[in-house]
A and B are shown apart, each in its own frame.
Chain A
């Protein structure tokens, strides 16, 4: 047991899995000698050497393509993009090849790759270092999209993602990288993919969120409890495929659903969740389902980003709108 930050938990999971599985390869820009832009891969080069920890050129399409080739020949690459905005040159390789290799080859080949990248605003960086475009990936069949929200889940979900036989896009909320510490047991136990984590049990409203927004959502739930509103908080964790069973069971209990995400509102993952709640949970709803999300704009630069990220107040206001219905 050791207390660590979320980014240290990522490092811990990489170290553990590289020790037990010689097929695991870490690659990306500045991941080896430098230890990664956020130090997620620090120390790996010393422990595992240059054949397993690779500094690549500044060419994300190549990083993804290289990982696909390695994975089809039995390796398990964990490829890092320095920021989410830099993953777009790799979309061609990820969408056209990694996500559909199993289908294309009728199951003869698969791509056990983890594409890691930090994402989200709140770190006073430029817009292409701050966006939340998880919906791009979630929309693509054949990709798993996993987002941890605590050191424990970063450790357990990254292990599960590396062990998964298909490509996983592993999005790390950079705003939470060093926000707080948590006891993480380095026992190599993975957490399950494709299920939600209910962080707080409540009776009146279901708050569905993921990634860094878990922080504001939990704070809102605490404030709401002082106002007599009991909120259940669900960390979706795997946003593709969605564990609607957990969300629907909760909505059936509370009758109210508010999705909170940092990504822009339009066509965000919240739209998919609300659609399924409407399709399958409508008759349990006491109020129209709601969303609190980022605005349909480019993430603003440092001084304005606090107005962009959904605040605790916006979440509380969103819940009050739902509570107006008896």
Chain B
């Protein structure tokens, strides 16, 4: 047994009057079948049946006024009414809706009408300057603005970076590695488990070279000459597939030391570049590393690596190969030495070289021939 209450037949109508019943007690009806004609303050409307079933009782006769929500028709039906199908409190809508009411108090607090000027002068910075300062951990309040209306420009931030002490870390505190330094720790450990590195060392006599020559550029050019003599060191090696790939072109990764860690930007096609062009590329990369504007693409595609640590300190080293390349040249600090020449002792200048190669794929003969050709170029082609 289901009792159908009179629904709101308009928008917020309180009642409606029965004009004509279309059904009588005992009738079988189907869903949406018109049951009754009702007159409201707005219109005359037919009320359709909400259920399929038998009419058991009509709660009014023609001309009776029924209140909205009052029992209207009783059905004998197995239909499940909406209230049971949707739960006790269905989230139902209606034409006028239902306003949330509460006894809550509206607390506006202290409302300020209109603008109030910030008490202290705030920092104004170009977005690029903010990003740079964030990456380089520069406090913007320590930057002297030179832009219009006291605006901090990226150049202003760079000035602070240039004057920042090399080590900003606090001593004695444990520090989790991030970024470049973290990547270095992970890759180096992984690589060293597979590679079979052998290092050979030799000095190159650069006594006859002009004192102001550009050592890094000379080394790059000498590596190209050595690759021509012995291509096996300008290669990629896949230790799992046991595949080797030799290259005609020489892309040299140039290891750069920064306080953020090791960066290895790659100078592409060294064999095609003039000395002046090489210097320019190196300077551009140096700047890019310092301002952290270097891109991942700038650091990919090396076929061999040069680490010119002699600019800092150290004579020989056992530099670590960066796969998939198979060789890395280390260049230490050049020094004055006593050299026996034609039975005389002369004061000359030597630059110490360390060549590490992967013995899985490079033979000792190939490596020594490579280093020999490299030294020959340094000593003779100037």
Q: Which residues of A contact B193 (CB under 8 A)?
A: none
- Whether a CB of chain B sits under 8 angstroms from the CB of A177 is yes
Q: Give bound CA distance, A124 to B100, whole Å.
A: 10
In the complex, are the beta carbons of B109 and A124 less than 8 A apart? no
Binds A, one of B113-121, B180-188, B281-289, B295-303: B113-121
Binds A, one of B24-32, B124-132, B351-359: B124-132
In the complex, are the beta carbons of B101 and A249 less than 8 A apart? no
Pick the most buried of A196, A246, A253, A283: most chain B CB atoms within 10 A of its CB: A283
In the complex, are the beta carbons of A124 and B134 less than 8 A apart? no
| B310 CB to nearest A CB, Å | 39
Interface string of A108-136 (1 = CB under 8 A from B): 00000000000000111110011000000
In the complex, are the beta carbons of A123 and B113 less than 8 A apart? no
- Whether a CB of chain B sits under 8 angstroms from the CB of A182 is yes
In the complex, are the beta carbons of A182 and B106 less than 8 A apart? yes
Using a CB-CB cutoff of 8 Å, which residues 1-39 of chain A contact chain B? 3, 5, 37-38
Residue of B nearest to A306 (CB): B91
In the complex, are the beta carbons of B94 and A125 less than 8 A apart? yes
| B106 CB to nearest A CB, Å | 4
- Whether a CB of chain B sits under 8 angstroms from the CB of A51 is no
Residue of A nearest to B118 (CB): A253
In the complex, are the beta carbons of B99 and A37 less than 8 A apart? no
In the complex, are the beta carbons of A301 and B93 less than 8 A apart? yes
| B168 CB to nearest A CB, Å | 16
Pick the most buried of B12, B91, B97, B98: most chain A CB atoms within 10 A of its CB: B97
In the complex, are the beta carbons of B100 and A175 less than 8 A apart? yes
In the complex, are the beta carbons of B122 and A253 less than 8 A apart? yes
Q: Give bound CA distance, A128 to B105, whole Å.
A: 30
A123's partner among B91, B99, B117, B118 (CB-CB below 8 A) is B99
Q: Which residues of B contact A323 (CB under 8 A)?
A: none
Interface string of B122-155 (1 = CB under 8 A from A): 1111110010001000000000000000010000
Q: Which residues of B contact A124 (CB under 8 A)?
A: 91-94, 97-98
- Whether a CB of chain B sits under 8 angstroms from the CB of A285 is yes
In the complex, are the beta carbons of B104 and A180 less than 8 A apart? yes
Q: Which residues of B contact A302 (CB under 8 A)?
A: 91-93
Known interface pairs A37-B12, A198-B112; A180-B97 also in contact (CB < 8 Å): no
- Whether a CB of chain A sits under 8 angstroms from the CB of B103 is yes
Residue of B nearest to A174 (CB): B99
Using a CB-CB cutoff of 8 Å, which residues 145-163 of chain A contact chain B? 150-152
In the complex, are the beta carbons of A196 and B114 less than 8 A apart? yes
Q: Which residues of B contact A326 (CB under 8 A)?
A: 134
- Whether a CB of chain B sits under 8 angstroms from the CB of A252 is yes
In the complex, are the beta carbons of A181 and B99 less than 8 A apart? no
Q: Give bound CA distance, A195 to B116, whole Å.
A: 12
Q: Which residues of A contact B116 (CB under 8 A)?
A: 198, 246, 249
Residue of A nearest to B107 (CB): A182
Q: Which residues of B contact A198 (CB under 8 A)?
A: 111-113, 116
Known interface pairs A286-B130, A302-B92; A246-B114 also in contact (CB < 8 Å): yes
- Whether a CB of chain B sits under 8 angstroms from the CB of A320 is no
Q: Give bound CA distance, A326 to B132, whole Å.
A: 12
Q: Give bound CA distance, A198 to B92, whole Å.
A: 36
Q: Which residues of A contact B92 (CB under 8 A)?
A: 124, 302-303
In the complex, are the beta carbons of B113 and A178 less than 8 A apart? no
- Whether a CB of chain A sits under 8 angstroms from the CB of B84 is no
Q: Which residues of A contact B103 (CB under 8 A)?
A: 181
In the complex, are the beta carbons of B113 and A177 less than 8 A apart? no
In the complex, are the beta carbons of A282 and B127 less than 8 A apart? yes
Using a CB-CB cutoff of 8 Å, which residues 201-257 of chain A contact chain B? 201, 243, 245-246, 248-250, 252-253, 255
Q: Which residues of A contact B100 (CB under 8 A)?
A: 122-123, 175, 178-179
Q: Give bound CA distance, A191 to B108, whole Å.
A: 15
- Whether a CB of chain A sits under 8 angstroms from the CB of B240 is no
| B218 CB to nearest A CB, Å | 44
Known interface pairs A199-B109, A284-B122; A192-B114 also in contact (CB < 8 Å): yes
Q: Give bound CA distance, A151 to B107, whole Å.
A: 11
| A285 CB to nearest B CB, Å | 7
Using a CB-CB cutoff of 8 Å, which residues 64-115 of chain B contact chain A? 91-106, 108-115
Q: Which residues of B contact A175 (CB under 8 A)?
A: 99-100
Pick the most buried of A175, A199, A243: most chain B CB atoms within 10 A of its CB: A199
Q: Give bound CA distance, A320 to B101, whole Å.
A: 32
Q: Give bound CA distance, A303 to B92, whole Å.
A: 7
Q: Give bound CA distance, A42 to B365, whole Å.
A: 104
Q: Give bound CA distance, A181 to B101, whole Å.
A: 10
Q: Give bound CA distance, A134 to B99, whole Å.
A: 21
Q: Give bound CA distance, A252 to B116, whole Å.
A: 11
Known interface pairs A249-B118, A253-B118, A283-B125; A200-B91 also in contact (CB < 8 Å): no
Residue of B nearest to A302 (CB): B93
Interface string of B219-246 (1 = CB under 8 A from A): 0000000000000000000000000000
- Whether a CB of chain B sits under 8 angstroms from the CB of A197 is yes
In the complex, are the beta carbons of A126 and B95 less than 8 A apart? yes
In the complex, are the beta carbons of A191 and B102 less than 8 A apart? no
B98's partner among A123, A181, A246 (CB-CB below 8 A) is A123
| B100 CB to nearest A CB, Å | 5
Q: Give bound CA distance, A198 to B94, whole Å.
A: 35
- Whether a CB of chain A sits under 8 angstroms from the CB of B208 is no
Using a CB-CB cutoff of 8 Å, which residues 284-322 of chain A contact chain B? 284-286, 301-303
Q: Give bound CA distance, A301 to B93, whole Å.
A: 7
B117's partner among A122, A196, A249, A255 (CB-CB below 8 A) is A249
Residue of B nearest to A130 (CB): B97
Residue pairs across A and B with Cβ atoms less than 8 A apart, 24 shown, are A123-B98, A124-B91, A125-B93, A126-B95, A129-B97, A130-B97, A150-B106, A174-B99, A175-B99, A178-B101, A180-B105, A181-B106, A182-B105, A191-B113, A197-B113, A198-B113, A243-B114, A243-B115, A249-B117, A255-B122, A283-B151, A284-B124, A285-B127, A326-B134
For the complex of A and B, 9 pairs with smallest distance between CB atoms: A125-B97, A302-B93, A123-B97, A182-B106, A180-B104, A246-B115, A198-B112, A283-B124, A253-B118
Binding site for A on B (CB under 8 A): 11-12, 91-106, 108-118, 122-127, 130, 134, 151
Task: A129-B96, A180-B105 given; name 16 further pairs at CB < 8 Å.
Answer: A129-B95, A150-B106, A152-B106, A178-B99, A179-B100, A180-B102, A182-B105, A195-B114, A195-B115, A198-B111, A245-B114, A248-B115, A255-B122, A283-B127, A301-B93, A302-B91
